[in-house]
Chains A and B, each alone.
Chain A
Amino acid sequence: MTMAGRRIAVAAGIVLLLAGGVAGVWLYRTLGHGGPLKTVYAAFDKQDDWKEYGGTWQYVDGVMRNISDERGAKLMSGSVGWTNYSVEADVLLLGQYGDAGLILRASDEEQGVDAYHGYMAGLRDLDNALLLGRADYGWKEYVAKTIAPRVYAQQWYHLKFLAYGCDFAVATTTPSGETISAAVEDPGCLPAGRFGLKSYNTGAEWKNVVVRPATAQDLASMTGGVTPPRAEPNAYPLGSIPAPYDRYFEPLQRDLEAHHSDINARTIDSLRLLPPDVSTQVTLHGVVTLTSPVLYVQDSTGGLAIPAAHIQAPVEIGDEIEAHGDAVPRDFSSVLEHADVRPLWSHTPVLPVAVTAYQASTGAFDAEYIEIEGVLQGKQDEEGNRHVLVLDDGSQSFRAIAVGEGPTAHFGNLKLRSRIRLRGICVVDPAYTKDQTSFAVLLPSLRDVEVLAGPPWWTTGHVLALIIGTLLLILSGFACYIQIERWRMRAVLKERERLAHDMHDTLAQSFAGLGFQLEAMQQELHEGGEVASQLKLARAMVRDSHEEARRSIAALRPDPLESAELLPALKSCAARMINSNTAIQIETVCEGSERSIPLRTADALLHIGQEAITNAVRHAHPSHVRIMLMYAKNSVELVVADDGCGFHLSSGSAGFGTRGMQRRAAAIGAKLKLSSVAGRGTTVRVSASLPLSFPKALWRTVRMVQPWKRDRNEHDMQ
């Protein structure tokens, strides 16, 4: 095989493998999590295995129950790939006018009436029949075998439904032990599908649901070896029912009785004005608004509590009931004691009345379903598994109570001072208000609490955090500024060093050369004469300039000055200056507690000091030069004093040196003071402020930037 050929083969192999893998995964997923079918005892407590399509399903004590009487409640499980299997269960019908049973080979289930493709078998107490049929988003009834004498509600029947190939068999065992069965063959049947529980027009219960793989033998044992007849859908042309018709009236009669209600029912409101200390037997109708901790019902005139009710069938919120018992009038509402409660119909929920806390506190809405808003002030748990919220609205406080072991995550997430809307029964009974508030609200569940707005953000903590955050931001900004200034300073000093080199190359050497030339010229001339003296002056000027240049260059130190070196640096500068002239005494004095001086200030002081020292040594011919550095609380002062000949301040001899000193002092906002007495000496004083803390430094920076302040500084210096 060639290289290219081998490559193609490998590629094809990989593609096939991938395709096989993908197909395998797809197959597994479409066939559902069932996988191969084995005997399964249906576990109702594994919620994920079951899918609801309509109905209100509850799982209580090993029994799965649907309490809704809608037309088409389904609970499905299993896998779409299951083919030959049987489903077996105990079934109980709760109502008298519908049917309930088992589904198998179902697919494409939806919410709706007969909304699936599959087969259903069950019991119908409407016409006392054992059913078997097929649903394809419609219903084809194949079998409706009469069970004598009747199919009883509220009794357990055992049901087994089997599918093998295209044969379907159903068998039921009545409470009295009798077994009735039926079977059909459905050519063109659905080959596979899920199993489930189904009820129509009635609530029902199922238990002991078992699913088993089915063999031909299992089918035979159910049919007794007889070949099942071909399935024919029962045509029920409505009109042509044969006489006698009595048996059709029986279910009507039962339905009628089931929904019969007492026309002497009284309005709830009318019960409040019954004689107070006498209990009166009444019948009333109302819609259930709360089931726990106490049953509350409401009609169009008001609401009332039915404690310790004897309830015939389970009721839930929204059911209309008929209650018969002893009416006991209380202050704002009545109570029905020793009551029998019978459900009439369901799905007629009461709409809440939106009230303010003040309105509720008057007692006008006692035992009624309200909607109310408030600001959450407190949360606590009380005995009896009660979760209590304390809320505020205007001038009223009230409690909201939810009873139950439901998940309390929602309760825990409610934040104090958030605005909350809740719906529940308004009660003034001290058992709930604990006489702390005028009313309380009984919540059907914690989910009836709706948060309208979270707690306001502007709490003390948050404001404090905001202020601190802003301060930190400002401080860090300032620290950055300081750092940048430092870098700038260093960059400036580096630049100066570069300048020094440049200057040396050009300026200083020029002076030197000039000096040589002049000296040569002077040697030519004899002493005396105007030219000679002029030459001498020229030479002196060149020397001075050379000195000045040299000093400036020397002063451009490459290393940034540390403040602690200020005094020693000035001392060594002075020492170098006097050099051979040992007649001059240098004294350095340091006063006050030494502190760190900012770089700019130290640099300026150094230059000013150097200049002052130079002037003293060169011009003043002193015998004593004192250099003093005095630290104060907010400032540092440098004093260079000599006892030389002094000079006149006003005499325009403010040379570059003096101007330089002034400029440097102004740049750092320091005060420069020159004082000189002819014959006695000169004192140069420069006083610079030291920052105490960042805020003060910030303030000083602001001051330096402002021009009117700067003018004042300049005026300070003379």
Chain B
Amino acid sequence: MTCSERPVRILIVDDHPVVRAGLLTLLGKEPRLAVVGAAHCGEEAISTIAAAPVDVLLLDLRMPGISGIDLLGILRRGNRAPAVIILSSYEYEEEIYQAVKAGARG
């Protein structure tokens, strides 16, 4: 992990409001982390990333509209792709494999 003065910019992408609120509160405590925003769907995530740079994406796999895997694919094609960490209640190997293949870091 590189030490830098700038806090890590995090974008939370999850369709569930409680999760977003919880993560927001939890991560907000950490001084080195800065939650840039909380998107509730893939499209909003894309528009947020386009508006402002984001370092890390906390991504839920199962979302209505563009799924997490698809979003990964879209982001990778762009430049300045953030690092992606998957949040999910599911632990199917197949999904994990797909996510890793798509470029998730964890």
Binding site for B on A (CB under 8 A): 501, 504-506, 508-510, 512-517, 519-521, 523-524, 550, 553-554, 576
Contact = CB atoms under 8 A, between A and B. Distances in A.
A505 B62 contact: yes
B28 to A, nearest CB: 7
B18 A520 contact: no
Given A513-B21, A524-B29, 19 more contacts: A501-B62, A504-B89, A504-B90, A505-B62, A509-B16, A509-B19, A510-B16, A512-B16, A512-B19, A513-B18, A515-B22, A516-B22, A516-B25, A516-B26, A517-B26, A519-B26, A523-B29, A550-B89, A554-B91
Nearest to A511: B18
Interface string B55-77: 00000101000000000000000
A501 B23 CA distance: 22
B15 A516 contact: no
B89 A517 contact: no
Contact of B89 (A508, A514, A516, A519): A508
Given A520-B26, A520-B28, A510 B91 contact: no
Contacts of B28: 520
B18 A514 contact: yes
Nearest to B60: A509
Contacts of A512: 16, 18-19, 22, 87, 89
Contact of A509 (B14, B25, B26): B14
6 contacts: A504-B62, A512-B18, A512-B19, A513-B19, A519-B26, A576-B91
B20 interface: yes
Contacts of B14: 509
Contacts of B15: 505
Interface of B: 14-23, 25-26, 28-29, 60, 62, 87, 89-91
Contacts of B20: 513
A385 B87 CA distance: 102
A512 B22 CA distance: 8
Contacts of A521: 25
Contacts of B26: 516-517, 519-520, 523
A510 B18 CA distance: 5
Nearest to B15: A505
Contacts of A524: 29
Contacts of A576: 91
Contacts of A514: 18, 22
A164 to B, nearest CB: 109
Given A505-B62, A524-B29, A516 B90 contact: no
Contacts of B90: 504
A576 B91 CA distance: 10
Nearest to A542: B22
A43 B29 CA distance: 125
A523 B27 CA distance: 11
Among B15, B17, B21, B25, find the residue whose CB has the most chain A CB atoms closer than 10 A.
B25
B41 to A, nearest CB: 13
B16 A516 contact: no
A95 B31 CA distance: 145
Nearest to A506: B16
B89 to A, nearest CB: 4
Given A504-B62, A504-B89, A550-B89, A509 B29 contact: no
Contacts of A505: 15-16, 62
A513 B89 contact: no
Given A504-B62, A504-B90, A520 B25 contact: yes
A501 B16 CA distance: 13
B91 A517 contact: no
A509 B89 contact: yes
